[in-house]
Amino acid sequence: MAAFNSFVRYLPVVGACFLLAGCKPTITFTALESSIISGNSTTLDWEVELAKGAGIRSIEIKPDIGEVGLEGSISVTPEETTTYTLSTQSFAFGFPFFIDEKVTVEVTEGDTWTVNDFINTSVWVFFKAANYVEAEESKYSADLALAEQFGESALQVSVEHDDAELSDGVIVVGTVHKTGLEENTDYEIAISVKYAIGARRDVSDTDCNMPILAVRSYASLAVTETVTVERDGADYIEIEDYDSFTKHEMSADITISDDECGVRYDLSDSIGAVSTGLNPLAVTTDSDGDAYISIVLDAEYANFEIYIISVSASYEEQ
């Protein structure tokens, strides 16, 4: 009788819970990039929030992942278009709830170039020559290096500048050359860049937030005026005007506390390598059916370090 009375006492709560779906968990399940080029990765993020008084029996992601916690993220590299399902088994007042959320990652065929394919010699640096001369210390460097944690070669690009406001320019790290397309034809190109960013802080950033580094893809660089400046035995060229078609912002997901301001970090403290899609790029092929795309870094922020690993692209005729 006591058990029955207890059930009757909680019956209104249970009824309201079911009617208002208040006992069900709240689930967020997303893919950082919902469309990727074959061979690249994307990140699945999820969070399961339980209702008050509810419990969880299991959380599982299929295919190929298995049981996971209430929240987290994981990098996936599907070989074909894949629908991932996050399944939860929870309970409230002794009643079970089975909730599924799905997210689809579309995989398109394309070409992938590693740094050894599109980096021939050194990078090209284009910048505002007057600003560069005014700055007391400005260093742009790029070296091919074997980033062991990625298992493949990477282009390490570093920028050091004593004044972020004067660091106005772009760094062309290489050019992707696609052959075998239709002659004199318009294409829309999907581009993905695999990269990693080393932690650092901007010299003008007093609260130690991580500034943003941008990547741009160019189909052409239109020069209106050229100025050559020699400094430290190197020649640099100023580009006053250029055609920009797409820009993607990338930031290092690293927290730096106030007492660590000014600390320099190495690659071991960087985010892992990720593949990030850029906005679609419109390109017209030449009379040979070739298309060229330059991969460019913005140098507008001081003191950053980035590792470029590969570039992927897929081409759709318009």
Can you give the pLDDT at residue 237? 43
Residue 99: Cβ within 10 Å count: 16
Backbone angles phi, psi at 12, to 5 degrees: -60, -35
Out of 2.60.120, 1.25.40, 3.30.920, 2.60.40, the CATH code matching 111-317 is 2.60.120
Can you give the pLDDT at residue 148? 61
Q: Which of 293, 276, 102, 259 is nearest to 189 (CA)?
A: 293
Cβ atoms of 113 and 128 within 8 Å: the answer is no
At the topology level of CATH, where does 26-108 sit?
Immunoglobulin-like (2.60.40)
Tokens 């599109």 found at: 118
Can you give the pLDDT at residue 23? 74
Can you give the pLDDT at residue 129? 42
Q: Is the pTM of this model over 0.75?
A: no
pLDDT in tens, the chain (318 residues): 554 454 445 555 555 555 445 678 888 999 988 888 888 888 899 999 887 777 788 899 999 999 999 999 998 989 999 999 999 988 877 778 888 999 999 998 888 888 777 665 445 554 544 444 444 445 555 566 655 666 677 777 776 665 555 555 566 666 777 888 899 888 888 878 887 776 554 444 444 444 445 555 554 444 444 445 454 555 444 443 344 445 555 554 444 444 444 444 444 555 567 777 776 777 788 888 887 777 766 655 556 667 778 888 888 899
**Domain residue ranges in the chain:** 26-108, 111-317
β-bridge pairing 186-198 and 304-317:
antiparallel
β-bridge pairing 95-108 and 35-37:
parallel
Same fold across 26-108 and 111-317:
no
CA distance 138 to 154: 23
CA distance 255 to 270: 11
Can you give the pLDDT at residue 318? 92
CA distance 79 to 17: 42
CA distance 294 to 169: 15
Residue 260: Cβ within 10 Å count: 12
Can you give the pLDDT at residue 190? 81
Can you give the pLDDT at residue 206? 46
Cβ atoms of 236 and 243 within 8 Å: the answer is no
Structure tokens at 160: 């050091």
- Torsion, CA 119, CA 121, CA 126, CA 130, rounded to 10: 150
Residues 6+ apart with CB under 8 A from 317: 181, 182, 185, 186, 187
